[in-house]
């Protein structure tokens, strides 16, 4: 039987959790001697001086401090890339990819990362990297942390067991998990799964937060109580372990003689979390027209210009379509913001075919897109009865910065080179005599 995990509820609460009673100091963070002979260590996710509303830090009480490690050595990049690319390749062409093939050879999460596109600049903490992971091996002797950004993980195939310094998270299709910058973790397959594939947004910028709700009111969209943060759990094991770090666009490795998952207790508001997208309270029109997709924002990463996100994480969940006298699928459009999309399951209402679960599409700044020709014909004639769109869950990483696809993604066999043809059937219906 898979062991079920305990979580603490709330978005970015000031949590307290201990795996041994009394391991957390009371009334202070750094006692002269910590209970059980533990070391106290602070991890910050913001500048010390960030405004209180955005100040992120946790205190960890661990068997050995993180600094008990060897020198870092370069490990190469594998199939990962980081912005800015040495040969920038931003391209106004609409692009689409089939699902990335699953590996045949033994591959763990780190080796199974492939960067599809990047934007902004990791060094100036703007933009993001978009990766697809595909792997079939558990990380056992290897651990990972990312100094370049936080990782929003969107599983598509298989369920993940994310073993982190802060405790364990399980996340599968229809759920997301976020591992903040710097937190050490290991990725394994959840019991009963032998392969996993999914998407990652590596957010170089300000950490994801819940969007403001404006006139929606105090409730709605992703509600804070539905976010789940793990409870402390630790292992006290010795051995030959490797800690892989992504730092400044390269992978590095340092050797450890113990597991870094040795945090017995922690408190603070900087911690990993998961969220089940089925808990999203979807709000949409009950009158006419197709609202802009910002109404479906789950999480947002602010840029330094108010209202222009570094990245919005948006979903297109199951929902009732009731709009009257309306072309119901997404409209034709050209946007300032650039859009990377993936499909978690089912079908997407703008694309009759070709956009598959595990696949991806990219529509960069001002590149025109919208419903394909088949969808346009069908939706223009459809009976406008209330209709429940059940089997669908797509998502979008939407950013103010244009995405640069990587060389690997551009030359991949699984790229659909004829994507633009989906709009070729859109013929003129114009007649000055017809109103
Ligand atoms: O391009 C897309 O499919 C995403 C999208 C969906 C929508 O409902 C309206 C605008 C938009 O960019
Ligand atoms: Fe769009």
Residue 316 forms part of a structural domain: yes
Taking CA atoms only, the protein residue closest to ligand 1 atom 8 is 330
Domain count within the chain: 2
DSSP conformation letters of 351-366? -SSS--TT-EEEE-TT
Interval between CA 349 and ligand 1 midpoint (Å) = 10
Whether 339 is in the pocket of ligand 1, judged by its Cβ within 6 Å, is yes
Residue 244 forms part of a structural domain: yes
Range of the domain at 167: 69-259+271-277
Interval between CA 14 and ligand 1 midpoint (Å) = 36
Whether 398 is in the pocket of ligand 1, judged by its Cβ within 6 Å, is no
Q: Note whether 130 and 224 are same-domain residues.
A: yes
Rounded distance between C-alpha atoms, residue 210 and residue 217, angstroms: 14
Residue 113 forms part of a structural domain: yes
Q: For residues 100 and 160, is the Cβ–Cβ distance under 8 A? A: no
The H-or-E segment that residue 410 falls in is helix 407-411
Residue 421 forms part of a structural domain: no
Residue 340 forms part of a structural domain: yes
Residue 384 forms part of a structural domain: yes
Q: Note whether 352 and 204 are same-domain residues.
A: no
- CATH number of the structural domain spanning residue 318: 2.60.120.10
Q: Note whether 199 and 284 are same-domain residues.
A: no
Work out the number of other CB atoms within 10 angstroms of the CB of residue 88: 12
Interval between CA 332 and ligand 1 midpoint (Å) = 8
Residue 86 forms part of a structural domain: yes
Q: Note whether 252 and 134 are same-domain residues.
A: yes
b/e per residue 287-315 (b: at least 16 CB within 10 A): eeebeebebbbbbbbbbeeeeebbbbbbb
Q: Note whether 248 and 309 are same-domain residues.
A: no
Q: Which residue is catalytic, options 54, 290, 363, 429? A: 290
Q: Note whether 116 and 249 are same-domain residues.
A: yes
Q: For residues 232 and 19, is the Cβ–Cβ distance under 8 A? A: yes
Q: Note whether 239 and 317 are same-domain residues.
A: no
Q: Note whether 105 and 241 are same-domain residues.
A: yes
Q: Note whether 234 and 288 are same-domain residues.
A: no
Q: Note whether 341 and 382 are same-domain residues.
A: yes
Ligand nearest to the CA of 364: 2
Nearest to 337 by CA among 309, 300, 359, 361: 309
- What ipTM describes this predicted complex? 0.98
Q: Note whether 230 and 88 are same-domain residues.
A: yes
pLDDT in tens, the chain (435 residues): 446 899 999 999 999 999 999 999 999 999 999 999 999 999 999 999 999 999 999 999 999 999 999 999 999 778 999 999 998 788 899 999 999 999 999 999 999 999 999 999 999 999 999 999 999 999 999 999 999 999 999 999 999 999 999 999 999 999 999 999 999 999 999 999 999 999 999 999 999 999 999 999 999 999 999 999 999 999 999 999 999 999 999 999 999 999 999 999 999 999 999 999 999 999 999 999 999 999 999 999 999 999 999 999 999 999 999 999 999 999 999 999 999 999 999 999 888 789 999 999 999 999 999 999 999 999 999 999 999 999 999 999 999 999 999 999 999 999 999 999 999 999 999 999 988
> Catalytic residue at 290?
yes
Q: Note whether 246 and 104 are same-domain residues.
A: yes
Phi, psi of 296 (to 5 degrees): -105, 20
Residue 148 forms part of a structural domain: yes
């Amino acid at each position: 039987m898979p062991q079920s995990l305990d979580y603490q509820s709330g978005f970015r609460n000031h949590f307290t959790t201990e795996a041994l009673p009394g391991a957390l100091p009371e009334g202070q963070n750094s006692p002269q001697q910590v209970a059980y002979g533990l070391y106290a260590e602070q991890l910050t996710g913001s500048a010390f001086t960030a405004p209180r509303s955005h100040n992120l830090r946790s205190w960890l009480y661990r068997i050995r401090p993180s600094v008990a490690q060897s020198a870092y050595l370069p490990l190469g990049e594998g199939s990962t890339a980081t912005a800015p690319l040495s040969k920038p390749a931003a391209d106004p062409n609409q692009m689409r990819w089939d699902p990335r093939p699953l590996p045949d050879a033994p591959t763990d999460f780190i080796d199974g990362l492939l960067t599809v596109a990047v934007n902004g600049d990791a060094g100036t903490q703007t933009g993001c990297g978009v990766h697809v992971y595909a792997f079939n091996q558990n990380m056992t002797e290897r651990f990972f942390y990312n100094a370049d950004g936080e990782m929003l993980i969107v599983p598509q195939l298989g369920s993940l067991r994310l073993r982190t310094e802060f405790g364990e998270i399980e996340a599968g299709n229809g759920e997301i998990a976020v591992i903040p910058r710097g937190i050490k973790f290991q990725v394994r397959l959840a019991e009963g799964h032998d392969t996993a594939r999914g998407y990652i947004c590596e957010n170089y910028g300000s950490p994801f937060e819940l969007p403001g709700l404006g006139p929606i009111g105090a409730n709605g969209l992703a509600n804070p109580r539905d976010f789940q943060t793990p409870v402390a759990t630790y292992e006290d094991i010795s051995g030959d372990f490797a800690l892989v770090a992504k730092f400044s666009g390269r992978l590095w490795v340092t050797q450890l003689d113990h597991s870094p998952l040795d945090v017995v207790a922690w408190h603070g508001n900087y911690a990993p979390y998961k969220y089940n997208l089925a808990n999203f309270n979807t709000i949409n029109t009950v009158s006419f027209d197709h609202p802009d997709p910002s109404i479906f924002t789950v999480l947002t990463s602010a840029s330094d210009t108010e209202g222009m996100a570094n990245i919005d994480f948006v979903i297109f969940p199951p929902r009732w379509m009731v709009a009257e006298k309306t072309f119901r699928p997404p409209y034709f459009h050209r946007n300032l913001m650039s859009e990377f999309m993936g499909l978690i399951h089912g079908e997407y209402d703008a694309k009759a075919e070709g956009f598959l679960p595990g696949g991806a599409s990219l529509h960069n700044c001002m590149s025109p897109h919208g419903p394909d020709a088949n969808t346009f014909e069908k939706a223009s004639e459809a009976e406008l009865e209330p209709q429940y769109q059940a089997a669908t869950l797509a998502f979008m990483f939407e950013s103010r910065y244009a995405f640069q696809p990587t060389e690997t993604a551009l030359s991949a066999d699984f790229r659909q080179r004829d994507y633009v043809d989906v709009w070729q059937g859109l013929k003129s219906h114009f007649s000055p005599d017809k109103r």
